[in-house]
Chains A and B, each alone.
Chain A
Amino acid sequence: MAADLAEIRTISDEALMLEFQGGSRPAFEELYGRYRGPLYGFFRRRLNGDQRAEDLTQETFLAVIRAANRYTPSALVRTYLYGIAMNVLAAERRKIAKDSPPGKESPEPATQEAPNSVLWIRQALEKLGDSEREILMLREYEQLSYAEIADLMDLPINTVRSRLFRARMALKEFLEPAERTSETAATSESRQEAGLPHAEGEAI
């Protein structure tokens, strides 16, 4: 059994999925172990509230269990799982839109304890277009390749590349003013302490 477990650790996702199709529970547990964290992160960064993210992660895995037979080895398990997760997320967003009255965004509970840097990141990401934001997040947080993102979003790979580039350039612009403001504030403070004129500090 120990040999079984050691062996299972080195097996690819795709082989594990096939094992699970064949009825192997350890294979599913291994897959769960590998993707629990990443999928939770996927939902957590895209929705408000950690409990909801946990529920949706669970929902994704339940969908995997129910639809295990539909998986074919031509697709990567990673892409397959994120595909399901995106469907779950879309359903959740539709539900939220239906439940909450129009024009009134739900408050952001997670930001209160979040550090400033995270706040800026969230705000900067909010300013991006939906597609660009999604591509950027899939690349940066889910670490998907361009081809996998293209597959998931049903876009040509070159479009993914150019949108990703645009998103990163835009994000640089959005993040920089925040950094600059904090830097400028810090610099002017130090200059004032040193007895230098304020105007020079601003000119930097």
Chain B
Amino acid sequence: MSNSGRVIRPRFDPVARPFHEITDEQFDAAFERPLQDTIAELQDAYRSGVKRMVVVVPTTAMSGGNRYAHTAAAAEAIRVLVKSAARQWGASGVTVNAIAVDPASVLDDVHVAGPVSIAPRALGSADPRALIEFLCSEAAGDVTGQTFNVDGGQLM
């Protein structure tokens, strides 16, 4: 991996919560904190001269999740923030991409959240490390603002 690459892994709320019962404190912790922390990490990376940024979110960002609206809101906000950053920093040679991973690696109860697809997953394994290495390399200089699902082919 290039020294100029940085991987950002926001901390998402893994706990299932009915939306109509969420308190201000819970929503602040689940939505505002991960987003603000990610903004701060992106800012630090940009100011430090990092040219390749990769942000890891669960596919729940795109699929939504039963009793995980708070987590999905944060994840999707961060996924689209990646696009804004890619658009804004592209002229500086900075690329920003997102990797969307299996919700099982983020959420406590994926069965409550519900399926992310109408079909079963295609592959048994889903290791994002090789893709992260590519996205942080010089060779990925023309790839930015994208979301890559590394979830074994659940969400297509």
B is a partner of A: no
